[in-house]
Amino acid sequence: MNFQAARAFIEAHYRKNRTTVSADIPGIFDGVEATIGLPVVRHHFPSGGDYATWIVPPQWDVREAWIKDAKGKVLASYADHPLFVAPYSKPIHAIVSRKELHDHLFSAPQQLDAFAYNHRLAHNAKLRLSDWCLSLPQKLIDSMGEGPFEVCIDAEIKNGEMLVGEIVLEGEVPDAIAFLADWCHPGQVNDSFSGLIIFMEVMRTLAQRPRRRYTYKLLMFPETVGSSVYIGSDPTRVRSVHGAIFSEMVGWGEEWFLKATRTGHTYMDLLAADCRRRFPDLKHAPFFSLYGNDEHVFDSVQVGIPTLSLQKFPFAEYHTSNDNPSHLNNADLQRAYDIILHLVDVAERDAVFEFVHPVPFYMSRYDLYADAVYEREAHRLKRNIQLRLDGRTSLLKIANDLDVPFNVVYEYVDQMSTFDLVRFAKVSPWEKA
């Protein structure tokens, strides 16, 4: 993985105004293109657009924002960190008492020196632009005088466009796997941006391969509203997508989790099970556990695209300004990249096979036999693989049934294929999960 390029992208863009509609988003997509050398298609959704109940908000950009004490000293400002102002706060310039100020303050008591992320004004349609909120480190709040305080939030509010970015790598078939990433969460790195840089690197890797069986789509949204509007505006956009993977919070954290799909019994869950055999520290988690995101849109009852979610949970700096590049762990970034690529590689190689000959083939003739007495375990495994090659069951399903790594089944069947003992069956692995 190209850690230098990933870190350079983060440093250039993480402190931008990464909220639903802002002037900073086109530059982020420019950065994606420059980093991985692949074009980003921009889908434009104008402010006020109503898509399947989701209304695109106006553009919100901060010119300046600050708070001063009774002596005119600036205590904190938007220049210090973008989390100083809760996104979609209404503009204000007023003298306020300590009590009134505290009614509009937000902090993270568990991170005393950090600005905290208050996302509720932006995400709640009833609260957006109806109130204002400043975030201050709890240490600063505890040391503030009695006031009064001068507060300024100078925000430009106008009609704009919400952008959803899409990169498509065509495969031999139109059947697609989608990677879901968020570009939102201003001034934060692990939350959202870490998943984006992993998928960027995966797409760069896939683009360099001489052949791809499946088509791959990287979709980049603002959390939830972006994926809902993208699909709600035209459900046919995802008609060819058979499965999806969401990822965020993979730059550091405590424990690795690969969350199941909503039903837990899909082809994507078979991929996840094999991935856990490959990475023993990767834990299973139910669909509605840990942090939820765009997988809840794609794998909803209405959309029905089985979606996994990869994250490292928890991490102490969550939703604060301490979620910054200094904590990025190259080993964790590499692990996330390896996990996603493993899921892809298994899907690319999986297939359904059937035997060519009308009777069991002569195994020892092709060195495909294991002695039933002296190689008992190998004999049992090879027998059980062959018993499941029925022209309906994929190699991945066989591996899962036998609780062995996919590669074990794949390599044995690949040997059979070399001698024309088996052939592809006209059944998609996705159909018989």
pLDDT digits (tens, 9 = 90+) for 154-200: 999 999 999 999 999 999 999 999 999 999 999 999 999 999 999 99
In 3D, which of 295, 397, 320 has the Cα closest to residue 113? Answer: 320
Percent of the chain with pLDDT over 70: 100
Strands (DSSP E) along 69-148, which ranges? 74-77, 92-96, 105-106, 134-135
Q: How do residues 276-317 score in pLDDT, each as one tens digit?
A: 999 999 999 999 999 999 999 999 999 999 999 999 999 999
With a cut of 90, say whether residue 321 has pLDDT above it. Answer: yes
- The pLDDT score that the predictor gives to residue 297 is 98
For 64-68, the CB contacts below 8 A with 24+ separation are: 64/152, 64/154, 65/134, 65/152, 65/153, 65/154, 65/155, 66/151, 66/152, 67/101, 67/134, 67/136, 67/149, 67/150, 67/151, 67/152, 68/149, 68/150
- The pLDDT score that the predictor gives to residue 270 is 98
Task: Say yes or no: domain 59-158 is CATH 3.50.30.90.
Answer: yes
Q: How confident is the model at residue 1 (pLDDT cuts 50, 70, 90)?
A: confident
- The pLDDT score that the predictor gives to residue 209 is 97
pTM recorded for the entire structure: 0.96
With a cut of 80, say whether residue 241 has pLDDT above it. Answer: yes
Q: How do residues 198-236 score in pLDDT, each as one tens digit?
A: 999 999 999 999 999 999 999 999 999 999 999 999 999
Q: What CATH superfamily classification does 3-55+161-349 receive?
A: Zn peptidases (3.40.630.10)
Q: How do residues 252-282 score in pLDDT, each as one tens digit?
A: 999 999 999 999 999 999 999 999 999 999 9
CA of 385: how far to CAs of 238, 350, 391, 410, in Å?
Answer: 35, 14, 12, 10
With a cut of 80, say whether residue 360 has pLDDT above it. Answer: yes
- Distance in angstroms (rounded) separating the CA atoms of residues 178 and 231: 13
- The pLDDT score that the predictor gives to residue 433 is 65
- The pLDDT score that the predictor gives to residue 432 is 61
Average pLDDT for 423-429? 93
Q: How confident is the model at residue 4 (pLDDT cuts 50, 70, 90)?
A: very high
Q: How do residues 120-149 score in pLDDT, each as one tens digit?
A: 999 999 999 999 999 999 999 999 989 999
Domain boundaries, the chain: 3-55+161-349, 59-158, 353-424
**Would the CA dihedral through 140, 145, 146, 149 be positive or negative?**
negative
In 3D, which of 305, 310, 304 has the Cα closest to residue 284? Answer: 310
- The pLDDT score that the predictor gives to residue 431 is 78
**Would the CA dihedral through 175, 179, 182, 183 be positive or negative?**
negative
Token representation of residue 48: 């006020």
Average pLDDT for 350-370? 96
DSSP, residue by residue, 343-379: HHHHHHH--BEEESSSS---GGGGT----TTTSHHHH
- 3-state secondary structure (DSSP) of residue 114: coil
Using CB atoms within 10 A of its CB, is residue 404 exposed (0-12), middle (13-18) or buried (19+)?
middle
